[in-house]
Structure 1
Amino acid sequence: MSFRKYFIKKLYQPLFFALKIKKSNTNFLTMKKFSITLCSLLMISSIANAQLSNIKNKVKSNISGSNKQKSVKKQKTYTLEEINANPYVDYDRVVVTENGPVIFKGVYKNGFTDDIGFSGVYYLNSYAIVQPANHFSHDTTKLYIGFSINYNQEKHNMQVYWEKNDSNYAMVPERYHSSADKGNVMFQMGMSGGPESYYNAECLVLEPGTFLVGAYVYHKNDKEGHAWMNNVTPESFVIASKDTSKFKDYQKNPEYTSKVVFEKYDALRAAWKNQEIKDAKPLPAEGMKNAQLKNEATNLITQHAKGYKWKETVEYAYITSGEWEIKRHPLTGIPIKRIAKAIVVMKTPQGNYKREGFYIAQDHTGNNQYGKTYMLYNDQRIYYVNPKDAFQYKN
C-alpha cells in the first residue's frame, strides 16, 4: 500500500465508522453531531492535501537545487597559464583566484564590414577590466581582450561591441569627417557600454586595421606641431588591431609611435583648417566709403597689433557700419560719442587669411562736432577668409 492510500485511509476511518450507525437509532441530535463531524473531517482532509502538496513541491525544489549545484560544480575552470597561452578565443573562461572567480570574456566576433575596411574584429594588447560596482555586489570581475566595430560611413559613427548585447557608441568629430572619408580616422568613445576606462577615450587610426586607444595630444604651436599631454611620452600604449603582430611595432617603440601619432594629428588639423578656409563665409559688406576714416581704422588696428605682438600681419581695414551709432547721455540726451564697426583682414605666418571685427569711436566736442578717431576695442572673434575674397574691399 502506498503512503498516500494509507494516509487517506487513516484520515477517513472515523467517517466510515460514523456511516455504520443504524438508521433506527438515529435522532436529530445524533444527525447534528454527525454533520459537524463530517464537516470537520472534510476541512482536515483539505488542509492535509494542501500540506501534502507543499511537501512534494519542496522535495522537487530541493532536488532541482541540488542538480543546479552539481552543474555549477562541474563548470570547467582554467589556469592563468592556459589563458595566456591562447588569449584570443571567442568563448568565456573562468579562472578561480584568491579573491574569487574572474571571467575572461571571449572576443565577440561579428562579420561587420564597410567600404574602407574599418569595421571588423579588433584584438587588444592589454585587458580592459570591468569590476563589480562595490564589495557587496554579486557581479563577477570581467576581462575583455577584444571587440567588434560596426562603422557607419555616412553618419561617421559606430558601435563598439564588447558583447552581443553590450556596445559603446562612438563617433568621429564633425571637423574630422572629410579626413575620415580618406582613411585618417580619429574617433571618440561614448559614455555607456563596455569598460568605464574606455569612456570618452580618444582613438586614432595608426594604419589600416590598427588604432591607438587614448591618443591624448594637443597642438603645441604651428612650428612644433602636436605633442603629448603635459609633454610626457606615455610609458605604454593600448593598441587595438585586427592583426596581433602589429602590437610589437608600436608597443616597443615609443618614438616611432609618437612620430606616427603627431603626423596623423598634424594632417587632421591641416585638413580641418583647409576645410574651414574653403567653407569660410564671405567678408561682411562694406558700409561707409570714407577713405580717410578707412586709413585711420587701418592705422589704429596696426598699432594695436604691434602692441599686443600679433603673429598675423595686418593687410588693411574697412568700415562695415552704414552710419555712425550715436551714444547719448541717458538723462540729458546730449551726444557723448559716436561708434562705427570695422573689419581687419590679416595674413597668418602660414600664408592664410583671417578677419576680426573691431570698433572705432570719436568723442563729441560740442556743436555737433566730433574729435579724433580712436580704437575702442576688438571683439576677438576671428574667422578664416577665403583667399579669393581676402582683398575684396582693400581699395
Structure 2
Amino acid sequence: MKKTLSCLSIWLIVCTLSTQAFAQKSGKFYAFTTKGTNKKAKVVYNSSRDRFEIRLKGMRSFTYDFKRETEVTNYKGSEKLPFKAYYGSGDMFYYPDGSILICSAQGNKRVNCDKIAFVEKDQTKKAGVVFLSQDKGKVEAMNKEKITKMVVEALQSTCKIRRAIDLKDIAKMELPKEGMKNAKLLAKSMDATKAFLKRRHWKEVVVGGYLFSKEWKVIRNKNTGIILGRRFYMVGLMKKGAQCKFGYFTIRQNFNGSTFNEPFCEAHSRIYEVTCDKMQKKMGK
C-alpha cells in the first residue's frame, strides 16, 4: 500500500511539473517580426476561457486575439503536436518553453501536408510572422530563415492532425447504390460531366461513374403539361492527386417534340471523399 501511494505521489509530481512547464503565461515578451516593426509585446492569457490577447508595441501597434483550436486539441490519435494550437487573428502556436509563434493561415490545411511551403505573400498581415519569448536571447537569435522553418513545421504538423481526423470519417463513407443500367446513356452523361468540370476549371478528374437514379424524371411545363425534357442523376467518380472522390451530377436532356436531345450536365452536389479501394472496386479494378 505504501509503495502504491509512493508511486502515485511521484506520478502526480511528474504530471504537475510537466503541466507547469507547458502552462500558458501572461506578461511582457520580447518580439521578432519579419517586418521588423516590433520589439516588445504584452501577452494576456485568460485561463478560464483558454484565450490569448497579444499586443505588439513598436513603430506600429498591433493587437491579436486567439482561442484554442479544439479540433486539433481533442484529437486522440497517434500523431502528437509539439505545441498548443490556437486560431483567431491567424494561427498561433504555444511551445513548451513558453515561446509563441504567430502566422497567417495559408492554403488547404487538410491535404498534401508535406507539400505545404512558406508562401511569403500570405504572411504579410499586420507585423508579418511573429516570434515571442520572455528569453531575450532566443529572440535575438531568431532570423527569417529560422522563423520560416518554424512556420512550415507548424502548418504541416497541424495539417497532419486534421488529415488524420478526416481519414476516420472517409473510412466510414460508402458509395451510393447504383440505379438504372444504360451503358449508352452513361457514356454520354460521363462526357457531359467532363465538359462541365472543364468549363469550371475543376482540379478533379472524372475517371468513372454510374447512373444513380432508378428512372428518369420527366420535366413538364407547369401550365400546359407539355414535356420539356427529362432529368436524372449520375454519380461521378473522380481523382484529385492521391484523393478519391465522388459527387452527384444532375444530367438533363431537353425534348424537341419527337426525341430527347444529347444530355448535358446541369448542376452538381457537394463532393465527398472516399477510400480509393472502394472506388477501384466499384470500377472493377
Query: Shorter-chain TM-score: what band?
Result: 0.5 to 0.7
Task: Give distance in 1, aligned partners of 2:177 and 2:19.
Answer: 44
Tell me how many residue pairs correspond in the alignment: 243
Aligned match of 1:183: 81
Instruction: Tell me the TM-score normalized by structure 1.
Output: 0.51
Residue identity in the other structure for 2:87: Q
Task: Give distance in 2, aligned partners of 1:148 and 1:308.
Answer: 46
Aligned match of 1:257: 147
2:67 to 154, 170, 177: 170
Task: Give distance in 1, aligned partners of 2:19 and 2:253.
Answer: 62
C-alpha deviation, 1:265, in angstroms: 0.5
Task: Give distance in 2, aligned partners of 1:113 and 1:358.
Answer: 57
Task: Give distance in 2, aligned partners of 1:113 and 1:161.
Answer: 25
C-alpha deviation, 1:330, in angstroms: 0.8
Q: Quote the sequence identity (%).
A: 20
The 5-angstrom pairing of residues 224-373 of structure 1 reads 225-228=117-120, 230-232=122-124, 234=127, 237-240=130-133, 245-249=137-141, 252-280=142-170, 281-349=173-241, 351-366=242-257, 369-373=259-263
**Structure 1: where are the runs of 5+ without partners?**
1-110, 128-142, 152-156, 163-167, 190-199
Which protein, 1 or 2, shows the higher relative CO under an 8 Å CA cutoff with sep ≥ 6?
2
* Residues 240/226 of structure 1: CA separation in 2 closer, same or farther (3 Å cut): same
Task: Give distance in 2, aligned partners of 1:299 and 1:161.
Answer: 54
Task: Give distance in 2, aligned partners of 1:269 and 1:314.
Answer: 26
Residue identity in the other structure for 1:118: F
- Spell out, residue by residue over 1:102-134, the C-alpha distance to the aligned partner (whole angstroms, 9 max, x if none): xxxxxxxxx98776953244654249xxxxxxx
Task: Give distance in 1, aligned partners of 2:274 and 2:19.
Answer: 35
Task: Give distance in 2, aligned partners of 1:343 and 1:279.
Answer: 20
Secondary structure at the residue paired with 1:359? strand
Report which of the two structures shows the higher radius of gyration computed on alpha carbons: 1
RMSD: 3.9
- Spell out, residue by residue over 1:80-120, the C-alpha distance to the aligned partner (whole angstroms, 9 max, x if none): xxxxxxxxxxxxxxxxxxxxxxxxxxxxxxx9877695324
1:391 aligns with 2:284: no
C-alpha deviation, 1:341, in angstroms: 1.4
Secondary structure at the residue paired with 1:343? strand
Aligned match of 2:96: 208
- Spell out, residue by residue over 1:181-205, the C-alpha distance to the aligned partner (whole angstroms, 9 max, x if none): 712532136xxxxxxxxxx563124
Task: Give distance in 2, aligned partners of 1:262 and 1:114.
Answer: 26
Secondary structure at the residue paired with 1:271? helix
**Contact 1:217–1:226 (CA under 8 A) maintained in structure 2:** no
- Spell out, residue by residue over 1:210-269, the C-alpha distance to the aligned partner (whole angstroms, 9 max, x if none): 44353223128965634245454956724146x5643334xx312211221122212322
**Structure 2: where are the runs of 5+ without partners?**
1-14, 32-39, 55-64
**Contact 1:119–1:148 (CA under 8 A) maintained in structure 2:** no
